Structures are given as C-alpha cells and as structure tokens.
Amino acid sequence: MRKHLFFVAAPAAGHVNPALPLVAELVGRGHRVTFASGPAHAAAIEGAGAEAVRLPWTLDPTALSRETFSTTSFVDLLDGLLEAAAPEIDALVEKVRDADVVCFDATVAPVAAAVAHRLGVPAVALVASMAVNEHLPLAELLPPDFRPDNEALIRFATHLHEFSAQQGVPAPLVPMAAPSVPLTLVFVPAAFQIAAETFDETYRFVGPTVRAGEWAPPAGKPVLLVSLGTAFTDRPDVFRACAQAFAGTEWHVVMSLGRTDPALLGELPPNVEALPSVPQQAVLGHASAFVSHAGMNSIMEALSRAVPLVTLPRVPEQALNARRVQELGLGEVLDSGALTPELVRETVLRVAGDPGVQDRLARMAKEITAAGGATAAAEAVLDLLG
C-alpha cells in the first residue's frame, strides 16, 4: 500500500542531506514524500523526488562560527526555528493531512511532535550524529559554556512550553531532550557509535545514506580533499597551510572553501584547486586522504569509501567525532590553531601510507555496507507502518 511520509529538518546541509537518500529510496518504492525545510534546500529536496514545503527558515552560517558559537547562539537558533514555524503549523498540518508518519531531525523536534500529535501518527527520529543516552550524555555535544540558567535557554524553554500548550502536546522536561519515539534511525554504524550496545531495539544504526557522484581526478596522482564543512569555513590559514604543504609534490589538492575568500589564500600552487564547494562524495571516491572539520556526515562519507582522515575539530560535537576516529585508528586529530604546512604534510602522508590504518578503514567500510544505509532505513520505517 502506498504511504505518505512527512519529513521535517532544520535548514542546514548537515541536517537535510543525510535524509535525502532515504527519501529517494522511499520514492523509488512508490511512496509519496513531503519534506519541509528552508527555501535554500527546496531544490535538493525536489531532486530526491519529494514535494518541498518551504518554511520561513533561514540559517546564518556566520552565527555558528567558532568565535560566536555558544549556548546563547545555539539556543537562539533553536528558538528562531520554533518561533518562525509556530504560525505555519495549521497550514502544515492541513498540507500533510493524510501523512502516515512524521520523520524529523531532532533540531526541530517540537515542530515534528506537534504535527504528529495533530495527525495522530507515529514519529521517527533521524539522527545524523552520535546517538545519546546515559552512557553518552547530551552535554558531550553542547557548547562548553552550557548552563541551565542561561538566559537564552530560559527564554527558549518558555517559548517551548507556550508552543506545546497551544498544540496540545506535553512540553519536554528538558528543552533539548529528545522525545520518546517508536523508532530512531541513526545514520552511523554501530561499529562507530559510542556504547552502541546500550541502546534498545528502537534504535537502528543504519549507517550513512551516501549518494553516488562523478568527478574526474588527474591521472595517476594521489588526491587530498580539504573541507571544513558548511558552517565553520572561515579559516584561510588552514587552507593556506594545506596548499603549501603539498606545493611541488605529486599530490593533487582539492579544497572546498565555503565562505573563505580565495583572494586571502594568495597565489596557489598549480597542483591545488580551490572552489567555493565541490562534489564531496564524488571526490572522496578518488581521495587518498581527507582533511576535515570532523562533521559526522563528512566522516561517514570518508569511511564509507575507506579514506583516512586528518581532523580539525572546532566545536564539542566535532571533537567527540574526531576522538572516535583516532580511537578506532581511522585517522588522526590536529589542533587547527597550531597548524603548519610541515605538520599537515607529515600527518597526511602518515595516515595515507599506514597499512594498519588501511586495514581498519576497509573493515569499517564493510561495517557501513552491512548496516544497510538508505535501504535499511526505508525498510525500518515501512515495517513500523505495517
């Protein structure tokens, strides 16, 4: 029987993109998907085969720079998403009146809970980072200055209780606590998840839902990909160090600059290409190493292709991911504040040339394949719906 699945995610690549292969898998099986997020992601959502609902959500990436990332900036982001969505809930419920399930990114859990309650349907949580419980507390992923008496957090809690009362749903006891749902899909394999054995059967570690892509590398040259994701990209010093590290070598360096102005890098060696963005998954298909900010999506894309990592984490969640990469012997962690071309080159060559790292990467890639990705995720959701 054809199902209608409603997805909702925060307007950020790291929240929308992991769900898109699942969307494409469901659409390919003949089901209907409606996906609500910000206007900037509508084209990608429609490209996966879903109907895009454009909520009045925007995300200023400069608000999440290393210099401004704090409890206040993070909670203000959550509060802004809630406040912008609240007037749209009635229209949204009417739009997806016949939906059978609500699949949601935890950042917008209050919106998802309200819609699921109004429709009387189950909700499915989509987790693109480490899943949390008593063995991996949420505090591990929060800004280092997190305090319950933070004014922004108190304001958000007030708005959340008002919104919950208006929608007739219980407000969470803790503002950022995940709601209880019958199914949580974690886009990380159990082999990478910390304390995976402590989660119950409602958690399915399906691994990354990676997509194919095309990119042609220079013939016969090892490729280094350098990317700091989409939020924390304002680091010309990092890109300069990576470019200088491999100047005059056989390596071809591909750098995804994000918001970094290319003019700040100076003249680049001929074996270095620097672009605002690159087809990351396609480049990783040919890469010998990856210098990354340690965002979970980037880590999973690298590990699915057995590419060793050199990580430069900037916020607590990334630091946790980077430690896990190093703990499992899949790469190394560097301090982006103490980076030199020599250190970059030595570390990249070490992880790329270590047979032990390569063996562990091959085993992790097999674990990711076995986890099932988008296919396993789709089957879990459809099984829930009977």
Report the distance separating Cα 234 and Cα 369, nearest Å.
34
- 299: closest CA among 288, 310, 286, 283? 310
Q: Is the model's pLDDT at 59 over the cut of 80?
A: no
How far, in whole angstroms, is CA 338 from its chain's centroid? 26
Please count the CA atoms within 13 angstroms of the CA of 42 that sit on its side-chain side. 11
How far, in whole angstroms, is CA 385 from its chain's centroid? 26
Q: What is the pLDDT of residue 241?
A: 96
What does the chain come to in residues? 386
Q: Is the model's pLDDT at 226 over the cut of 80?
A: yes
CB atoms within 10 A of CB 211: 16
> Average pLDDT for residues 328-337, to the nearest whole number?
94
Q: Residue 173: pLDDT band by 50, 70, 90 thresholds?
A: low
- CATH C-level class of 4-205: alpha beta
Q: What is the CATH number of domain 223-369?
A: 3.40.50.2000
The domain spans of the chain are 4-205, 223-369
Q: Residue 103: pLDDT band by 50, 70, 90 thresholds?
A: very high
Q: What is the pLDDT of residue 179?
A: 77
Report the distance separating Cα 261 and Cα 255, nearest Å.
12
Report the distance separating Cα 277 and Cα 126, nearest Å.
25
Q: Model confidence over 118-148: pLDDT tens digits?
A: 999 999 999 999 999 998 888 788 877 888 8
3-state secondary structure of 277: coil
> Average pLDDT for residues 299-324, to the nearest whole number?
95
Q: What is the pLDDT of residue 141?
A: 80
CB atoms within 10 A of CB 50: 24
Place of tokens 């409602």: 202
Q: What is the pLDDT of residue 144?
A: 78
Q: Residue 373: pLDDT band by 50, 70, 90 thresholds?
A: very high
Report the distance separating Cα 81 and Cα 90, nearest Å.
16
Report the distance separating Cα 203 and Cα 184, nearest Å.
5
Which residues have CB under 8 Å from 352's CB, separation 6+?
222, 288, 289, 308
Query: Is 223-369 the same fold as 4-205?
Result: yes
